[in-house]
Amino acid sequence: MKRKQKKLLYRIIVAGILFAILMICEHGSESISGWTENTWLFAAFCLVPYLIIGYDVLRKAVLGILHGQVLDENFLMTVATIGAFALGDFVEAVAVLLFYQIGELFQQLATAKSRKSIADLMDIRPDIANLESEDGTVSEVDPSEVPVGSIVVVRPGEKVPIDGVIESGTSSLNTAALTGESMPRDVQGGDEIFSGCVNLTGTLRIRTTKDFGASTVSKILELVEHSGTKKSKSERFITRFAQVYTPAVCLAALVLAFLPPVISLLMGHEALWGQWISRGLTFLVISCPCALVISIPLGFFGGIGCASRCGILVKGSDYLERLAALTTLVMDKTGTLTRGQFAVREVRAVSGDKKQVLYYAACAEKDSNHPIAICIKNACETDVSAVEANITERGGFGLHGTLADGTKVAVGNARLMQEQGITGFTEMPADEVGAQTVVYVAKDGAYLGAICIEDPLKETTPAALQTLREAGISRMIMLTGDGQKAAQAVSERLGGLEYYAELLPEDKVHRVEELIGDNDAPVGFVGDGINDAPVLALSYVGIAMGAMGSDAAIEAADVVLMDDDPMKIALARKISLKTLRIVRENVIFALGVKGLCLLLGALGLAGMWLAVFADVGVMVLAVLNSMRALKKPKETGE
Amino acid sequence: MKKIYKIEVDCAACALKMEQAAKKVEGILDATVSFVTQKMHVEFDENAEPEKIMPKVLKACRKVEPDCEIEF
């Protein structure tokens, strides 16, 4: 609790005790009729807690009037309580201010708490960097002073201050603050690591590849700081609503206070001024728009905070609202649904010796950096880097040549095998090939076998799509630059997912434009941020995944998933739905209770007490309800 | 030119009033006040000098919300 809030708390306690005494006194005395000397005394006693609890409200009300700011909540409270005093309802006047201030305190504490949970995320900001100079001495400097290409030492327990590549050392990193993933990640020399991770076990020496401002941690902090600027439709609506609502209720209060007595007088009846003015004042107390104005941004903020903790960065409450409105989700295949990395899925050998097939393929590919070559070399158990070979590359066919021991090898597609006149070669049937890429291997002119390579689905992809479907995304579409066959095979494995294949980057833009159509359908797009920035920007909500270290993705997308787990897409959707539901509950609840109390107040069925509940109680409940948005939704189901 | 300032404001309705007051200050294209993050995002005119404008913003905000603070 800050000093300001502690002071308010003490004032509430003191005023509360005095208020309780007054209640007992009032109860004990005869009901007050007419202004006797005793009444004046009692009023003076009531003035003490009234001023203790409300002096700042009165001050702000006076300042507000001086600055032409009538009709704010301070003014409403002041008029209502002074009115209550004038009517002889001294205790009620104190009660109104007392409860108003309790509500204020509560609201301040609640917002401070949700701010803190965001601040915990902000905790990723590194305070120092241990810069190693050329002579080997290490000095502590501010991370922003570290030049690109210098060596930084990160000891166990410290945060990685700047993005870089490990020069020496092995350790495991806690990336939870960035990705929400609790499993530590093992790293060793040569690995690229990102700022904001916490080094757990060993000391690392890192050569920085960026300056602090361009590092992941700075990007994320910038993003979180800016998340407040994109206000959601509901927030904008309630702002406009509050601007109309308060004057309207004040006018209604005025009418309620004076019109019925005047009419009554004209009709020749008693005016009952006191009763109607009291009802008008009740109206004023109810009219405060605070519960609405606070609970909506607080709900959204909770949702954004919850998402951040799960490694999902939402750039503003606007996008959380849009995420909840999605019915169609377009997904890129490579890197989003699939891993984006080739892996050997199957090796077929004529002779039965699969290791031999892999070995000769690896030898032929030894100097190639093609993704397929790398994955074959990774799959081969023998290290082939020392093998000497004379290899010719034939673009569109494959590779062939002679190894140092005189063995002739040929590795490539069916056309290469036919061209080289390989004996015993048979092409794999199309239905067995499916989504895979097949590399044929031959040794000394004889067919040896085939290696099937594919870009495998991520483990969680099927479950993620299922959860998204359950969370109300009725149409999901996969876009890919791959061939029809490959796309179809992936689609079949994902339960017949709708797809468009053989798309160039600009075709993806056209596809999404078509889906959006003339009536601006809410179409979301998920991509890995590589080559799809235009689509991310074009769609209703652009979601970039695996964004650790990718500036382009962070800039183009509205929602950024820090790691590349497709389950996070589903989680983001769920958080958005939950947040929107909470916000809607708050609006309906606040408006409903206020409306009801206004009605009861006008009919004279509700007094100042109920009015205070309508104002403070609703606000407190709405704030409490908003806090629920901070909690992570369950993994499965709604 | 965009800048972010730390602010202190006690209620959401007051934050809205600050936002509207700040927007009207000369040299400011747009201003957003986030009550929850206690930040004010200000977009200045291209030739504007924030050091000269921010005192005016604070003055305008104090008029609508006497207790508010802006750190600049």
Q: Which residues contact A339 (CB under 8 A, 6 or more apart)?
A: A455, A456, A457, A458
Full DSSP string of A515-529: HHTTTT--EEEEE-S
Query: Which residues 347-406 of A are in CB contact (within 8 Å) with B?
Result: none
Q: How distant, in Å, are the alpha carbons of A17, A30, A46, A285, A394 from that of A22?
A: 9, 13, 7, 21, 98
Q: Does A264 touch chain B (CB under 8 A)?
A: no
Specify the pTM.
0.78
Q: Is A416 helix (H, G, I), strand (E, B) or coil?
A: helix
User: Burial level of A273, CB count in 10 A (0-12/13-18/19+)?
Assistant: middle
Q: Does A569 touch chain B (CB under 8 A)?
A: no
**Identity (one letter) of the amino acid at A324?**
A
Using a CB-CB distance cutoff of 8 angstroms, which residues of chain A are in contact with residue B39?
225, 228
Q: Do B37 and A226 touch (CB under 8 A)?
A: no
Measure CB to CB from residue B13 to each of A73, A225, A228 and give the nearest one: A73
Using a CB-CB distance cutoff of 8 angstroms, which residues of chain A are in contact with residue B66?
59-60, 63-64
Q: Do B13 and A293 touch (CB under 8 A)?
A: yes
CB of A257 closer than 8 Å to CB of A276: yes
B2-71: CATH topology is: Alpha-Beta Plaits (3.30.70)
User: Burial level of A109, CB count in 10 A (0-12/13-18/19+)?
Assistant: middle
What confidence score (pLDDT) does residue A485 get? 79
What confidence score (pLDDT) does residue A448 get? 87
- Give the tens place of pLDDT for each residue, A447-504: 888 888 888 888 899 999 999 999 999 999 999 877 787 788 888 888 888 999 888 8
Q: Is A377 helix (H, G, I), strand (E, B) or coil?
A: helix
What confidence score (pLDDT) does residue A475 get? 92
The alpha carbon of residue B7 is apart from the nearest alpha carbon of chain A, in Å, by: 13
Measure CB to CB from residue A290 to each of B4, B11, B41 and give the nearest one: B11
In whole angstroms, give the CA distance from residue A207 to residue A469: 44
Q: Which residues contact A510 (CB under 8 A, 6 or more apart)?
A: none
> In this structure, what token pair is assigned to residue A536?
């991310």
Q: Does A210 touch chain B (CB under 8 A)?
A: no
3-state secondary structure A471-485: CCCCEEEEECCCCHH
In whole angstroms, give the CA distance from residue A113 to residue A584: 22
Using a CB-CB distance cutoff of 8 angstroms, which residues of chain A are in contact with residue B20?
none
In whole angstroms, give the CA distance from residue A317 to residue A319: 5
The chain A residue lying nearest B30, using CA atoms, is A229
What confidence score (pLDDT) does residue A581 get? 93
Task: List the CATH code of the domain at A343-454.
Answer: 3.40.1110.10
User: Burial level of A213, CB count in 10 A (0-12/13-18/19+)?
Assistant: exposed
Q: Do B16 and A228 touch (CB under 8 A)?
A: no
Catalytic residues of A: 332
The chain B residue lying nearest A289, using CA atoms, is B13
What confidence score (pLDDT) does residue A340 get? 76
Using a CB-CB distance cutoff of 8 angstroms, which residues of chain A are in contact with residue B38?
115
Q: Do B63 and A69 touch (CB under 8 A)?
A: yes
The reply to whether domains A129-158+164-209 and A310-339+458-578 share a CATH topology is no
What confidence score (pLDDT) does residue A30 get? 53
Q: DSSP strand E in A404-531: where? A: 408-412, 437-443, 446-454, 475-479, 498-500, 523-527
Using a CB-CB distance cutoff of 8 angstroms, which residues of chain B are in contact with residue A115?
36-38
CB of A278 closer than 8 Å to CB of A305: no
Segment-wise mean pLDDT, segments of 10 residues, chain A, 638 residues: 83 90 72 64 86 89 80 80 84 86 82 69 76 86 88 90 90 80 82 86 90 81 69 78 79 88 85 83 78 78 83 86 92 84 83 82 82 83 80 82 86 85 82 78 88 86 92 91 81 88 84 86 84 83 77 79 87 94 90 86 78 78 83 62
Using a CB-CB distance cutoff of 8 angstroms, which residues of chain B are in contact with residue A107?
11
> In this structure, what token pair is assigned to residue A505?
């980057």
Q: Which residue's entry shows tokens 């000391």?
A: A203
What confidence score (pLDDT) does residue A248 get? 85
3-state secondary structure A217-256: HHHHHHHHHHCCCCCCHHHHHHHHHHHHHHHHHHHHHHHH
Q: Do B12 and A228 touch (CB under 8 A)?
A: no
* Cα dihedral: A135, A138, A144, A147 (round 10): 20
Q: Does A242 touch chain B (CB under 8 A)?
A: yes
Q: DSSP strand E in A142-211: where? A: 151-154, 164-168, 171-174, 185-187, 192-193, 198-199, 204-208
Give me the interface pTM, i.e. the ipTM.
0.77
Task: Produce one character per residue of A129-166: b if its CB has 16 or more CB atoms within 10 Å, e if not.
Answer: bbbbeeeeeeeeeebeebeeebbbbbeeebbbbbbbeb
| Domain with residues A129-158+164-209, CATH architecture | Distorted Sandwich (2.70)
Interface test with A, best of B9, B36, B39 (most A CBs within 10 A): B36
Q: Residue A485, CB half-sphere, CA atoms under 13 Å: how many?
A: 10
In whole angstroms, give the CA distance from residue A369 to residue A553: 25
Q: Do B17 and A72 touch (CB under 8 A)?
A: yes
Q: Where are the domains of chain A?
A: 3-118+230-298+579-630, 129-158+164-209, 310-339+458-578, 343-454
The chain B residue lying nearest A246, using CA atoms, is B13
Q: Pick from A551, A614, A340, A355: which is nearest to A461 by CA?
A: A340
In whole angstroms, give the CA distance from residue A393 to residue A398: 6
Q: How confident is the model at residue B55 (pLDDT cuts 50, 70, 90)?
A: very high
Q: Do A115 and B66 touch (CB under 8 A)?
A: no
Q: How far is CA A473 from the centre of its chain?
A: 18
The chain B residue lying nearest A70, using CA atoms, is B64
Q: Do A229 and B11 touch (CB under 8 A)?
A: no
Measure CB to CB from residue B41 to each of A67, A228, A301 and give the nearest one: A228
Q: Pick from A276, A117, A225: which is nearest to A630 by CA?
A: A117
Taking 3-state DSSP, the helix, strand and coil percentages for chain A, each rounded to the nearest 5, stand at 55, 15, 30
Q: Does A113 touch chain B (CB under 8 A)?
A: no
Using a CB-CB distance cutoff of 8 angstroms, which residues of chain A are in contact with residue B34?
228-229, 297
Q: Do A228 and B10 touch (CB under 8 A)?
A: no
Using a CB-CB distance cutoff of 8 angstroms, which residues of chain A are in contact with residue B40?
none
Q: Do A111 and B35 touch (CB under 8 A)?
A: yes
In whole angstroms, give the CA distance from residue A226 to residue A217: 14
A310-339+458-578: CATH topology is: Rossmann fold (3.40.50)
